[in-house]
């Protein structure tokens, strides 16, 4: 029975909790850099690896959905760290070449975010542990950004790095400006 007073609550109550077995099983697909990767269980290797459009997980044939999810997401997070760090380094070098005469700056440090809600990318000034008057810049990226196409990742990082290398370096959320 639907409530006349709160239709939003009715919508929320009508949604079922997703079944992990439907989402996480051999042959299921996950997103990676805008592409689909097929999950394949394999005992041949001790580590997760990608070959073509398949992601091989070192799990037994009767692995639980939770084991499959944990293994696949661990690989995605590790690859997100690798890919985003590489992009930040390359883009920082490019921005520095495009801004001659500006003081040389180190690229911001990368940290993955696991927040349930928030922005894809956030630029933060964080105090150092040794001296509270000194700061380092942290580029906090949500780990699920690795699921997006490279063009989306590039746009998010470009915006963050342009702001980082510009004169305005206050801490703020990057995408709250477009809300």
Distance CA 108, CA 128 (A): 13
pLDDT given for residue 9 in this prediction = 60
Contact 34, 150 (CB under 8 A): yes
Residuewise pLDDT in 10s, the chain (179 residues): 555 666 666 655 555 666 777 889 999 999 999 999 999 999 888 999 999 999 999 999 999 999 999 999 999 999 999 999 999 999 888 877 776 666 677 889 999 999 888 889 998 887 777 655 667 788 999 999 999 999 999 999 988 888 888 754 444 444 444 43
pLDDT of res. 177:
42
Q: How far is CA 6 from CA 10, 14, 17, in A?
A: 7, 13, 21
Ordered by start, the domain boundaries in the chain are 25-74, 78-178
pLDDT recorded at residue 99: 67
Report pLDDT for 176.
43
Measuring CA to CA, how many Å separate 94 from each of 7, 169, 179? 50, 18, 29
Q: Which two tokens stand for residue 171?
A: 């801490």
Q: Is the pTM of this model over 0.95?
A: no
Helix extents (H) in the chain:
7-14, 20-23, 65-98, 150-165
In this prediction, residue 17 carries a pLDDT of 63
Nearest to 52, CA basis, from 36, 71, 73: 36
* d(C-alpha 62, C-alpha 25), whole Å: 10
């Amino acid at each position: 029975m639907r409530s006349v007073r709160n239709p939003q609550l009715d919508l929320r109550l009508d949604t079922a909790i997703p079944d992990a077995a439907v989402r996480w099983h051999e042959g299921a697909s996950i997103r990676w850099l805008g592409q689909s990767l097929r999950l394949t269980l394999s005992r041949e290797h001790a580590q997760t690896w990608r070959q073509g459009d398949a992601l091989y997980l070192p799990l037994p044939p009767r692995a639980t959905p939770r084991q499959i999810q944990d293994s696949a997401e661990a690989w995605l997070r590790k690859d997100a760290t690798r890919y985003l760090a590489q992009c930040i380094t390359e883009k920082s070098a490019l921005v520095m070449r495009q801004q001659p005469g500006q003081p040389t700056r180190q690229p911001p440090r990368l940290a993955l975010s696991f927040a349930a809600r928030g922005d894809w990318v956030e630029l933060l000034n964080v105090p150092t542990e040794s001296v509270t008057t000194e700061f380092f810049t942290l580029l906090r990226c949500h780990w699920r950004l690795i699921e997006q196409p490279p063009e989306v990742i590039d746009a998010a990082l470009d915006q963050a790095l342009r702001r980082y290398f510009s004169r305005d370096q206050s801490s703020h959320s990057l995408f709250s400006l477009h809300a």
